[in-house]
Structures are given as C-alpha cells and as structure tokens.
Chains A and B, each alone.
Chain A
C-alpha cells in the first residue's frame, strides 16, 4: 500500500497567519520532505475565492514541486475538473508530466461550492455528468495520437493534444466522496476510485458497491484501483492523538469542511455552516483516525488487506508517521 500526503502551505491556516509566498515555499518544502521521509506521493487540492488564499491551480503548484524533487509522485486531489476546459486541463497535466519526468497523477473531483461555479463561469448542476465526460476526454487525449469524442456536453473531432505527456494515458483517479452515486460514476467510466474520509466498514461497503457496479458495466474490476483519504493522527497516547486531531479541526476542518456545502444532510442536500453537533459533522469528525502508532498500524493494515492502493494523510505529522507507521508497511 502506498502512502501519500497532502501539501502543507496550500492556504493560510486560521490562527497561523503568514505571507502567501512563504506558504508556497512551505508547499514545495513539503514535497521535498515527504520524498525524503519515504512517502510515495504528495497531493495538491483546489479552491477559489476563499479568504484564506487557497491554492486555485494544483497542477501549477505541482510544477513548482517538480522542480525541487526527483522521485515522489505529484498528485492532484481533488482538482475540480468541471471548473476547467478539459483540453486545457490535459495540457497543464501534460506540461507538468513532461517537466517532472512522468510523475503526475490526476485526482479529479466535481466540486461543490456554488461561488466557485458562479465565479469561474461553469454550470454547477451538470458537474457530475461533465466530470465523467471530461475524464474520458483526458484519457483519450493523453493516450491516442489523435482522438474524437462525442458527448452530451463536449464534442471533439480528430483533435491532437500538444504537448503530449510522458505517461500514455496519464495516471488518473475519480475522486467521488463516499456515496453510491460517486462509486457508480467511477465504475461506469472504468475509472480508479479515490474515496473521501471514511472508516473501514464504510470503505468496504463502498468498495464492494464500486467493484460490483464495475463488473455490471463490463469494466475489468480486477484491474481497478481504489484509494482513500484517511486523516490519521498519531500520538504516544490516544489522548495525544486526539489533541493533534482537535488542533487540525480548529485551524482547518471546523470551517473548511463544515461551512461551504461539502457535507450533506440525510436528504442529500448540502449543508452550509451547520452546528458543530449536527450528525453529518459529528460523523465526519468520527471518521478521522486517532491512535497510538500500534493502533494506527493495526487499523491501516485492514485497509491494506482490503486492497486499498494508497492512503492520503494530512501533512501535520509527517516525521512521526514516517518513523512510527511507514516502516510497518515497508517490511
């Protein structure tokens, strides 16, 4: 099982003010440090118009990280593809792929914040269908000399991507939350599936659905990969691990996850700024994994046995994670 980490420095954390250029230096330093510590990949995300100056173009950040690293995979997760023209996105991916020597992986999500669609100028209500079409377009554009595509939202005839990436096709994942709908879209397109934070039971349930639907769709389920964002907090005691989690909630998730429509209520409607004790937010907090190194290793081994390709952890305890957890998966 591979271990990936999110980048530090993609935005200014609440309570830890700092200048953006220094933050972006931290971002590049995260890639260097993660490579040194033995992580397999480093993951950049995307948001727009957020007051904390969130990174708006993850591939460009990966270009910066590519200049300072040589081995580590450079990953977007999630890059909000419906906010792009798919060919422009493929061009950017190819550019970084060439510069990095073929180290780019695309984790592609549909986005959820209304102001992002309104600000950039694409329709929110068609984002799911467009994401599926866009991913197919990128797969075709990066694997074939020339390609044509006829969909409901996009149409190309005898097009050629310039430049061409080193990877043919470029490595690509569908980032689709932890819902049946997400699993369905990933399976229908035959895309590898990257799940959001969820515990083992929920992960297994969704993976089973995903693989079953892929078989039904005639996709080669045995070749499909699945990955997981799994926010892990390690401490010498469980209380220490929970302290690390609580700090991360305070400076980041209490607002980032809770306030902008990421969470859904039981009717599937997005939640904006619900109370802290709302069941959807409580469930999210409970999905974060806290434990001593032994507890964390034991839990993550279950995911390894489930066949999970990679786990993405937050960038807050990289040294500790590298020393206490990673060695157990490298034996």
Chain B
C-alpha cells in the first residue's frame, strides 16, 4: 500500500507564508518515506493554487523520491496540448515522479465527455509519435477535418518523409503532429475523480485510475470505488492496469467522521485495510491539514509500518 499526502491551498493566509510551509511539509514527507504529494487546483482566496503542476515542479526540485502530483486539475478553459505539456514537464523536471488527477466534470460545470476526450487525447499523444484527434471538444491539430476518424488517428506511410526544418513555406504545419517532449514514462499516472457516474464508468472501461476524494463520504467513496472495480472486472480489465486512490482526512488519536479516519494508529490502519479489501485501492492519501507537529512522523512510523506488515 502506498501512502501520500494532499493539500488544498487557499484561505486568507498570505500565499507566500502558506505555500512555503507546505513545501516544507512536502520535504518532510519525502524524508519520511511518503510515496506521493498532491496539491489541488484552487482559485479562491489569495493563496489558492491555480497552477498545481507549476507548484509541484518547484516542490520536485526540493525533494528526491516523493511523487509530485497535480490534483483536481480542471480541463475547462484549458488548451489540451498545454495540459499534456505541463504534466510532461513536471515528470521531466522530477525525473519521472510526475502525475495528475483530473477534477470531476460536475465540479467544472462541463460535459463529462470533455474530460474524457481530454484525457484520451493526452494519453494518446504521450504514447505515440505523430497523431491527430477529432472529438466534440478536442481537435488536434485545429485543421483536422470533420471526416477524420473519431478520436485518435495516425498517419499512414506515404513513402515521403521531410524533417520539419525542411517543410518550407508550402507545408508550414502538418495533418499530424507529435507532442514534444514526452514524459519520462509513457504511461505516466493519470487519475480522474469518480464523483460523476458517467466518468466512473468511462474510467473503469478505459483503464484510467480512479481517485475518490475527501469530498465524498467514506461510504460513498467505497461504494464508488467498488463499483468502478466491478465494471472494470466485467470488461476484462485487470486491477494491475490502474491504481485506485482513496483520500481521507486523518485524525491520529482523534475522532472519525464521514470523511475522516480517526483513532489510534491501529484503528486507522484497520480502516484503510478494510477499504482496500472492499475496493482494491493501492494508494491511500491523507488530506493534510490541522495536524499536530509530530503527526507526520507518527503516521510514517505507526500507520505506514502497519499497512505493510
């Protein structure tokens, strides 16, 4: 079981103060052996982190091992090429520790199909060389014709090849383009929040990892993750193709509630193990806030150890 930490930045505290404290917490998490750090996109308050991939690129250069992931990333109002490029750069600057979880369509107030097309385009463009995409919301390159095949399509070999520096004035662009650079790993971790039924089903059928966020109650999260797994199993997809993530608040020696695993280290371990047995999650993420000074160390020493033992 992998364990991670997540943050939702914002509020009235000055960004410079809050952000550098969080960078320090990520560095401590790295030193204590946490597997991942996730910072959520947010656009409220003076400390909201609108560009989590940029934030995490800074964090990546201050850490050695922890995976650096952009969380709750919106696709609404974004250029899909830029979304692909920012995660590529995060992955490259972190030497293969990048990743992203996209926000649910309902929170972005967009058609779920926009989220699905964007993820499909990004993964397809990372995995292949020249490519084009025709969807309802995504079209790459822009001049891709209406009669191009739906979704991803690839060039046929015509017997002609010109490197791009020789294209000249008569062929200044191309019907198929390659995204460059590419991520370190072709199948860089891509997750999507499964708050929306359409996205849950699409992700399960298409091998996109599910992220059950802290906004869902534990009962909702487990039900949705279990439903995801059942659909995926029904399609013949193996659980090792994806990594299911459950995010919760953690209250060491505190009380549990609908969004929080509380109690002793043993209690918290049992809650995570029970959720894993019901859903096959491989990654537990602690939404980190209002923790006591030594809680990170206690989690690493007591909970993380028990999760492996």
B46 touching A56, Cβ below 8 Å: no
Residue A273 interfacial (CB < 8 Å): yes
B16 touching A273, Cβ below 8 Å: no
B139 touching A163, Cβ below 8 Å: no
How far apart are the CA atoms of A122 and B49 in the complex, in Å?
Answer: 25
Nearest chain B residue, comparing its CB with the CB of A269: B169
Residue B2 interfacial (CB < 8 Å): no
Report chain A residues within 8 Å CB of B60.
Answer: 64, 67
Task: Kindly specify which of B74-82, B212-220, B223-231 makes contact with the partner chain.
Answer: B74-82
Residue A296 interfacial (CB < 8 Å): no
Residue B270 interfacial (CB < 8 Å): no
Report chain A residues within 8 Å CB of B139.
Answer: 121
* A12 nearest CB across to chain B (Å): 9
Report chain B residues within 8 Å CB of A121.
Answer: 79, 81, 139-140, 142
Residue A166 interfacial (CB < 8 Å): yes
B81 touching A120, Cβ below 8 Å: yes
Residue A261 interfacial (CB < 8 Å): yes
Residue B48 interfacial (CB < 8 Å): yes
Residue A301 interfacial (CB < 8 Å): no
A118 touching B167, Cβ below 8 Å: no
Residue A255 interfacial (CB < 8 Å): yes
Given the known inter-chain contacts A20-B92, A57-B86, A163-B49, please indicate yes or no for A273 contacting B77, CB distance below 8 A.
Answer: no
B169 touching A272, Cβ below 8 Å: yes
Task: Kindly specify which of B28-36, B172-180, B275-283 makes contact with the partner chain.
Answer: B172-180
How far apart are the CA atoms of A91 and B95 in the complex, in Å?
Answer: 25
How many B residues have CB within 8 A of the partner chain?
A: 59
Nearest chain A residue, comparing its CB with the CB of B45: A162
Picked from B54, B92, B165, B169, the residue with its CB within 8 Å of the CB of A95 is: B54
* B159 nearest CB across to chain A (Å): 20
Report chain A residues within 8 Å CB of B53.
Answer: 60
Picked from B61, B77, B168, the residue with its CB within 8 Å of the CB of A64 is: B61
B86 touching A60, Cβ below 8 Å: yes
B180 touching A54, Cβ below 8 Å: yes
B85 touching A114, Cβ below 8 Å: no
How far apart are the CA atoms of A161 and B93 in the complex, in Å?
Answer: 27
How far apart are the CA atoms of A99 and B15 in the complex, in Å?
Answer: 9
How far apart are the CA atoms of A84 and B79 in the complex, in Å?
Answer: 8
How far apart are the CA atoms of A1 and B126 in the complex, in Å?
Answer: 43
Report chain B residues within 8 Å CB of A241.
Answer: none
Report chain A residues within 8 Å CB of B86.
Answer: 57, 60
* B126 nearest CB across to chain A (Å): 13
Report chain A residues within 8 Å CB of B58.
Answer: 63-64, 66-67, 96, 99
Report chain A residues within 8 Å CB of B180.
Answer: 48-54, 56
* A25 nearest CB across to chain B (Å): 8
Residue A92 interfacial (CB < 8 Å): yes
Residue B57 interfacial (CB < 8 Å): yes
B178 touching A162, Cβ below 8 Å: no
List 7 interface pairs A-B (beta carbons < 8 Å), by A numbering.
Answer: A24-B93, A48-B81, A51-B178, A64-B60, A120-B79, A163-B15, A164-B46
Nearest 3 pairs of A and B residues by beta carbon = A67-B61, A53-B181, A91-B50
Chain A residues proximal to chain B, CB less than 8 Å: 20-21, 24, 28, 48-57, 59-61, 63-64, 66-68, 83-85, 88, 91-92, 94-96, 98-99, 101, 113-115, 117-122, 162-164, 166, 255, 259-261, 270-273
